[in-house]
Amino acid sequence: MMSNELPFWQGSPPMALLDILEFPDPRLRTRAVPITIFDAALSRLIDDMFETMYAAPGIGLAASQVDVHRQLIVMDCSNDRSDPLVFINPEILSRENVGVMEEGCLSVPGIFDEVERAQRVRVRAKDRDGKAFECELDGIRAVCLQHEMDHLDGKLFVDYLSTLKRDRIRKKLEKERRDRPAKPDSAEVSAGAALGR
């Protein structure tokens, strides 16, 4: 049978790495709004967020971190990219087993500290097609989801630390950014543009 696939140059453009906002960028404090339109632009953003997260490398990324203030999270807590999860407009239905785990964040590079959170959650969300689902997550997946949901509320894991620690982290990151060579403009893609904004 003949393939009806388009030649590669007529298909989708290649995926793009998105620019990740870093603490203390005030845009990370924006509250995300629910997603109501499930279209090709959303699907493209999800694919770009996965590529950006895997390249970083990270195990979770909220749309807020790429300056798109919509309620969208991608996650993969496996070692081999075998557990990609998408949560749109997520709500936590129940929390259990509070414990402490060390967290890091792509928006707070190189910083790790302990945060107390539920180690088991039940969540309701929509998938990339807008279909509602519920699932239970535990361990690192439960912690990761809560960390990413905080981003959607404009909150960062360093907010759980003391003011003294947070100030020290802010100064360290500001210094590192000043010392870092500037990236060429062509390597940066605006995620907002992907959603036609």
In this structure, are residues 189 and 19 in contact, taking their beta carbons and an 8 Å threshold? yes
Amino acid identity at 116 = E
Q: Which window, 32-40, 105-113, 134-142, 158-166, contacts Ni ion (CB under 5 A)? A: 105-113
- CB nearer to Ni ion: give 20 or 46: 20
Taking alpha carbons only, the member of 116, 86, 88 closest to residue 32 is: 88
Peptide bond into 57 cis (omega under 30): yes
- Using CB atoms within 10 Å of the CB of residue 133, give its burial: 0 to 12 exposed, 13 to 18 middle, 19+ buried: exposed
Q: Which window, 37-45, 104-112, 132-140, 179-187, contacts Ni ion (CB under 5 A)? A: 104-112
Is there a catalytic annotation at residue 5?
no
Residue of 148, 174, 176, 188 with catalytic role = 148
Residue 152 found at the interface with Ni ion (CB under 5 A) = no
Cα Rg of the chain, angstroms:
18
152/154 Cα distance (integer angstroms): 5
* Minimal distance, residue 50 CB to Ni ion, in Å: 15
* Minimal distance, residue 177 CB to Ni ion, in Å: 17
Tell which one of 42, 105, 111, 137 touches Ni ion (CB under 5 A).
Answer: 105
Please give the size of the binding site for Ni ion, defined by CB under 5 A.
1
DSSP strands (E only) in the chain: 60-62, 72-75, 85-105, 108-126, 132-138
> Which residues would be at the binding site for Ni ion (CB under 5 A)?
105
Catalytic residues: 148
